[in-house]
Every structure is written in structure tokens, then in C-alpha cells.
Amino acid sequence: MDRSTVTDKQTAAPTGQGNAAQRLATLTSWDADWTGLRVVVTGITKTGFSAADTLVELGARVVVVAASDDDDARRSADTLRIVGVVDVLLGAELSTQLPLVDGKPADLVVTSPGMRPAHPLLTAAFDAGIPVWGDIELAWRVRTRAGRKTADWITITGTNGKTTTTSMVELMLQAGGLRAIAVGNIGTPILDAVREPEGYDVLAVELSSFQLHWLQSVSPAASVCLNLAEDHVDWHGSFAAYARDKAKIYANTRIACVYNAEEPQTERMVEDADVVAGCRAIGFTTGTPAISMVGVVDGLLVDRAFIAERKDSAVELAKVSDIADLVPKHLAANALAAAALVRAYGLAPSAVRDGLRSYHSGEHRIQPVATINGVLWVNDSKATNAHAAAASLAAFDPVVWIAGGLSKGVDYDELVRTHGGRLKAVILIGADSAALRGSLQRHAPDVPVIEPGTSQTEMVHKAGGGHTEGAAVMTWAVAAAAEIALGGDTVLMAPASASMDQFSSYAHRGDAFISAVHGIMEGQAKAGKEF
């Protein structure tokens, strides 16, 4: 088969039950008749708030249910009642029950991305035959509105690199003269962008596996799954279920399905996808690209997909050095994926280059913090799973690795087996590091593993436990790393785990690392030492 084309297949229409389902099938634009539709919205943070606000504006009858009952939730509830929401039910107990709307069963549930399908409220909806959408499905259905511009969508997912790639796509589109914005699992809530009076030419839509789970109708111009590794098994129930939801990114794609040529499973997703006739399969690789791919040659990002002479030539898109000062392999891969998406959309090579030149990786993503006595200290707190940590570890050698936290049901055998040879020592943080410790014992038994001792335990208890212990934990971990690392080493904080056991977020964890490293610098400065 010509790898530049994906065979189109018949796409099954969404199924449903009863008159309500028949009505929902007609709701495919802002101007459709949404009046009186009874909807339960779960969640009251940015996503839930925007969904409820949108539905009220459409004329639906809305009840909002949320587990949170703090000051922010109550303020949001007050606002929603003012704009016309029927009721807002706050609190953990109320959030498990499927409420009536105007005394009758709901026609539809619009759920928060983080709510598991097995949640009692959603289970009750399934049992009652009530369809469940996410905010992305709702946004797609209302994107078309008389008198306003209808934006194209470019959709991005993957276990890692989604936010980086989406940001790059946004910048490239803007550099190409288009009015574009990053939405979805990043930045502005997608329904706020859809309702923006001036409208957009293109939306760069980052989609998590949670959001993809509820997708039915989206038909993007171009789409990509950057990579696939074990993650969120606790939410999806199995890796196979997680992979199936990720693969939904390619459904109904019109112009190009972009896949990672170095991860065959993403190519198989494209081969199995139901797409629009004529949609192309475009690969990206950090090596030399084949026909219908983008890749790297002699420090240049090049395109052999979107040029007439692709059989025997390529066009330069940008220099690798245009991306950043420090460009690990996975960052180059993200840039290539973004380039393929916007080239599919028709942008010139100069837009790719200019977009990458304006890109800034931001905090907590392979962020150099300091060089002290020849030791490079790097903050990659955003590496919340094994796949992300592997990308960081691959960029440095030798490494003193600070790692650990909430494992989210995954194991670390492959990570340690692949990168154990570059580890000088491992500093374990996290409330329960048993899974990572076990993998280190099995696959890197000669690598020293340092864990909190009695004095550290006492320090954490004094800090009060929970998120308040984070600073104490990180101060200890950084001090332990400083005792081991020598000139030429890298101390890499890439936890391969979620942060919520000891920190409020990955950003809180990263900030604690930066603060502790700066503490070492201040200590050396006071001692009159140069670094």
C-alpha cells in the first residue's frame, strides 16, 4: 500500500436510545434547537463551568454536580445560578448521585474529563440509557454558528509531549498569519474559544486520554498520537483500554494522520483508523526521513512529505538549534510532529522556522536550573510517568536521578532496564516508592539507592505530612544528590511519577527542587566558594 494514503472506512454513527438520543443526533451546530434540553454537568472548575455556561446560553436546562465544596466552588456556583443554571449541587455525597433536571431524568450528561467511567453518577447514566459527552464533543457540535467563523481543528495526543507539541503548533500557525489558539487540555477552555466573538482560523487541540474516551463526532483537519506508553491504567482499567482511547485521535481525520515512525504502534493506529477518503499517513522521525515523512538531516528539520519532489529531495524547515539551546531527542520529535501537522494544513516552511524560534519550553520541562562545580542540575518535574522520564534520562550521562511519587499503576522495569547503565545513583522520594525500588533491585542492582532515613522521617513528621512535607523532602533529596555528584555529572529530577502524594502539583514539586538547588548555591556563596 502507498504509505502516503490511509484507506477510508465506513464510520459508524453514534448510537443511543429513545427520543432524546434522536434529538441529540440533530444537535450539530450552535443554531440547532437546544432549548429545554435537560443536561447534568459534572465538575465546576474551568471545564465544567464553561460547559454549563455554554449550555445555558444555548437554552438548555442545566444542573451542575461537583464533589468540591470550597470557596472557589461556591463562588462559581453563585455565578452559574445568576446566569441561569437550574441548580448547583456541591459536596462529595451529592456528586455520586444522578440528579433530576426540572423534576425529570436528564437527556444528556456532560462530564468532567477526570471523572472515571465507573463513577456512580456515570454508571447511573449508562444504566438509564442517558448519553454521556465530554466538553470536547460538545464544543465540536456547537463550533458552527451563523455569522461567525468556523475554525478548523488540529488535534494532538500522546503519553508525553502533548503540551509542547500543541504549543509549537499554535506558534507555527500564528507565524503563518493565522488566528490560532491552543485549547483543550491546555490553556483556554475549548468552549470559551468556540464562543469567542471574533472567531479563530484554527484551534490547536490538546487531548488527554480522558477527553478522547468520550469523543464521538470530531473530524479534525490533521491529527497525531506522538507516542504510547503505559499510563493512567488506574483510570482506564487496562493498558489496552488506554491505547484504544488514544487511537480515537485519528478517527474522521480529513487531511493527514501524523504518526511516530519510531513507535510502530502509532502507525498501526493510523492503519486501523476510520478516516475521510484521501487522508494521508505522514510519519515523523528523528533520523533521516523516508518518502512521506519529516525528519532530521545534518542538524536540519526537513520535509519529504509535502513537496512535489519528495521521491528524491527534501525541503529545509528549520535548524534543530532553532528549537532551544538544549534539544534532547524527544523535543526534536515534538517539533517534527508539529511541523508535519501545520505543513499538512498548508503552511510554508518559514512558518515552521519562525514558530520554533518563538517557542520557549517553559518551567519544569527539562529545565536547566544551575551548574554548580561542574554539575548540571535539571528540573523535569513534568516527567510524571516512566515514558517521560525515559526521554529525560536518554539526554544525560552519567545521572544522579531523583525519582519517585505516585506510580498510577505502572511499573518501571523497562525504564530501569533501558537506562540503568547511565545511573550513578538514585535518590528516592515519594510516599511509596516500592514499585520503582523493586525495578532498581531487579535491573540495576549495582546502582546505589538512597532513601530517607530516620532523621528525614522525623523532619517530614514535623512538617505535618501531606503536601506540606514537599519542601522538606526535596531539600533532603537535593542535599543527598549534592554529596554524590561530581563535575561532569547531571542531577536530574525526573520523578517518573505523579506528585500528589507529597506536593500539590508537578509545578509545586519543580519549584521545591529549584528552591533547594538555589539553597546550595547560596550556601556556597556564603562560604566564599566559587561555582
The residue among 97, 37, 103 whose CA lies nearest residue 66 is 97
Given a cut of 70, whether residue 111 has pLDDT beyond it is: yes
Q: What is the DSSP string of 160-181?
A: S-HHHHHHHHHHHHHHTT--EE
Pairing of strands 367-372, 375-379: antiparallel
Determine, yes or no, domain membership for 1: no
- Report yes or no: 474 and 513 within 8 Å, Cβ to Cβ: yes
pLDDT band at 529 (very low <50, low <70, confident <90, very high): low
Q: How many CB atoms lie within 10 A of CB 290?
A: 14
Given a cut of 60, whether residue 3 has pLDDT beyond it is: no
Determine, yes or no, domain membership for 287: yes
Q: Which residues are annotated as a binding site?
A: 158-164
My answer on whether 157 and 296 are in the same domain is yes
Determine, yes or no, domain membership for 11: no
What is the rounded end-to-end Cα distance, in angstroms, of the chain?
59
Compute the average pLDDT of residues 265-275: 97
Determine, yes or no, domain membership for 5: no
Determine, yes or no, domain membership for 9: no
Compute the average pLDDT of residues 205-228: 95
- Report yes or no: 475 and 431 within 8 Å, Cβ to Cβ: no
Q: Give me the numbers of helices (H) and strands (E) for the chain, helices first please.
A: 19, 20
To the nearest 10°, report the CA torsion of 313, 315, 321, 326: -70
My answer on whether 388 and 316 are in the same domain is no
Please tell me the predicted confidence (pLDDT) of residue 527: 66
Domain boundary among 304, 323, 357: 357
Looking at 10-24, 281-295, 349-363, which range is the least confident one? 10-24
Determine, yes or no, domain membership for 143: no
My answer on whether 155 and 266 are in the same domain is yes
Domain boundary among 113, 137, 161: 137
Summary mean pLDDT of the chain: 89
My answer on whether 252 and 371 are in the same domain is no
Domain count, the chain: 3
The residue among 308, 344, 279, 389 whose CA lies nearest residue 2 is 279
Please tell me the predicted confidence (pLDDT) of residue 12: 35
Please tell me the predicted confidence (pLDDT) of residue 392: 87
The pTM (predicted TM-score) of the whole model is: 0.76
pLDDT in tens, 22-51: 999 999 999 999 999 999 999 999 999 999
My answer on whether 162 and 220 are in the same domain is yes
Residue length, the chain? 531
Domain CATH code at residue 463: 3.90.190.20
My answer on whether 169 and 105 are in the same domain is no
Angle formed by the axes of helices 162-175 and 349-357, nearest 10°: 120
Given a cut of 80, whether residue 410 has pLDDT beyond it is: no
My answer on whether 179 and 289 are in the same domain is yes
My answer on whether 348 and 421 are in the same domain is no
Determine, yes or no, domain membership for 3: no
- Report yes or no: 431 and 452 within 8 Å, Cβ to Cβ: no
Domain interval for residue 67: 27-137
My answer on whether 62 and 180 are in the same domain is no
pLDDT in tens, 224-245: 999 998 776 677 778 889 999 9
My answer on whether 296 and 403 are in the same domain is no
Domain CATH code at residue 208: 3.40.1190.10
pLDDT band at 523 (very low <50, low <70, confident <90, very high): confident
- The DSSP secondary-structure symbol of 406 reads B
- pLDDT: which is higher, 395 or 380: 380
Determine, yes or no, domain membership for 142: no
Domain CATH code at residue 68: 3.40.50.720
My answer on whether 319 and 208 are in the same domain is yes
Domain boundary among 339, 357, 375: 357
Q: Which residues are annotated as a binding site for ATP?
A: 158-164
My answer on whether 162 and 117 are in the same domain is no
